[in-house]
Amino acid sequence: MDKSNGLRVILFPLSIQGCINPMIQLAKILHSRGFSITVIHTRFNAPKASNHPLFTFLQIQDGLSETETRTQDVTLLLTLLNRSCESPFRHCLTKLLQSADSDTGEKKEKISCLIDDSGWIFTQPIAQSLNLPRLVLTTYNVSFFRNHFVLPQLRRDEMYLHIQDSEQDDLVQDFPPLRKKDLRRILDQETEVLDSYSAMILETTKASSGLIFVSCEELDQDSLSQTREDFQIPIFTIGPSHSYFPGSSSSLFTVDDTCMPWLDKQEDKSVIYVSFGSIATIGETEFMEIAWGLRNSNQPFLWVVRLSSVEQDTEWIEKIPKKFIEMLHEKGKIVNWSPQQQVLKHRAIGGFLTHNGWNSTVESVCEGVPMICLPFQWDQLSNARFVSDVWMVGVHLEGLIERDEIEGAIRRLLSETEGEAIRERMKLLKEKVGRSLKPKGSSHRSLQHLVDFISSF
Ligand code: UDX
């Protein structure tokens, strides 16, 4: 840490893994620049305070029942959390500000601002009423963040209902680089609850003091200038924040490190890493199709299968014939949770079969690992199109979870012709993004602006 600057920042991550990681990474960055850090968090999915002894952690009640904490429905979860956390959060923040005001000791600190996730829709009025500047961190890329506010209108127009078969692959003009078939998937899944939620995110973000993206100009240039125009607030693209402090310390799951010595035994760029993040679930049939696709490709693979990620009873894995599992283990390794950032860095990794959560996508780009895209929902569909259609650093499964498709995609990715071109483009993209993090690079400058901005309050 630089010498303390006498300022404290309060962070409030949304309680899911994909949102906790970037917020904790931001906390580490700000701490290294002299800020003291307080993290307010829910009891549900609480980050491990012991991993960050230099931060202060304050837990608030989230009102979730045991059953609710097990829901796979993220919309429901966010609705419940937003409903029940408002009052405990207000109480906690008010107390923090009061004690900072009444502190007269030598170590008196000023609370500079609140940084919380765009998905918390009650925090802006609270911060405003307490005269505390609020900055918003979003875990979407710039393009999806800006464009997803148009979804309620597209739903009202019912345009997605009239997509002809011949138009499936056409670009959605109001939402590039989504294709019309992607739009149908996004709108099919979402309910009106999400439309009003998005409207609240838009309103509370516009009223905030600034917006932070874990992205960079090199990845999101086109949408960035439009977003600046739309929002009229300072916007910071601090780049892939995990690169500043490699190694995730904010895992909510128990990390199985045994995959690292296993990777050491594999040949360079031979292993397909498979992970669908912290939320996505698949059915038993899909599990078997992926398993066969991996096995038939004859490539070694490392597969993250979270305990709750297959939609069946928890003992389902016990029911898979032992012979089949043994056959999988001839070529592969299955773990419940991996040290993903370390895995992607490993010389043995040749490709990443991913759901394209934004964190996973950016982590893969930073390590120059080409991707096989299997997006499940929401922003993942847009991120996947960036990978396959815009940056052209991966192949897209087009939603087909079938053994032949998976085997074929692995072969294409590792092939000498198509695969070589993909690997070359990925190498260039990795270098471009890497440069943005270096002094004078776009992310480096944007981060400095953020630090100056927060210090000016
Ligand atoms: C969610 C949304 O699904 C995603 O679309 C959005 O962009 C962010 O929030 P999630 O589905 O969990 O996140 O995916 P992702 O964004 O990729 O985040 C997963 C994080 O968990 C990554 O930082 C990844 O490194 C980490 N991870 C994943 C591990 O550390 N180990 C694993 O085994 C799997």
Q: Enter the tokens of residue 167.
A: 């138009």
Which atom of ligand 1 lies nearest, measured to the CA of 344?
A: 25
By most ligand atoms within 8 Å of CB, the mutation choice from 220, 254, 278 for ligand 1 is 278
By most ligand atoms within 8 Å of CB, the mutation choice from 279, 353, 359 for ligand 1 is 359
By most ligand atoms within 8 Å of CB, the mutation choice from 16, 17, 185 for ligand 1 is 17
Ramachandran assignment for 45, one of left (phi > 0), alpha (psi -120 to 50 degrees), beta (any other): left
Is the pLDDT at 205 greater than 70? The verdict is yes
Neighbours of 83 (CB within 10 A): 12
In tens, the pLDDT along 99-131 reads 988 877 767 799 999 999 999 999 999 999 999
Ordered domains of the chain (ranges, CATH): 7-239+437-455 (3.40.50.2000), 259-434 (3.40.50.2000)
Tokens 């600190």 sit at which residue? 109
DSSP-derived pairing of the beta strands 210-213 and 235-237: parallel
pTM: 0.96
Q: Enter the tokens of residue 176.
A: 């590039």
In tens, the pLDDT along 386-411 reads 999 999 999 999 999 999 999 999 99
Contact 204, 409 (CB under 8 A): no
Q: Enter the tokens of residue 137.
A: 């961190």
User: What is the rounded distance in angstroms from the CA atom of residue 82 to the CA atom of residue 60?
Assistant: 13
Which residue is closest in CA terms to ligand 1's atom 11?
A: 277
Q: How confident is the model at residue 193 (pLDDT cuts 50, 70, 90)?
A: confident
Q: Enter the tokens of residue 391.
A: 């940056």
Which residue is closest in CA terms to ligand 1's atom 2?
A: 357
Please report the DSSP string for 7-54 in residue order: EEEEEE--SSHHHHHHHHHHHHHHHHTT-EEEEEEESTT---GGG-TT
Is the pLDDT at 422 greater than 90? The verdict is yes
Q: What pLDDT shows up at residue 192?
A: 73
Neighbours of 214 (CB within 10 A): 25
| Segment 320-338 mean pLDDT | 86
Q: What pLDDT shows up at residue 146?
A: 97
Query: How much distance in Å is there from the Cα of 18 to the middle of ligand 1?
Result: 4
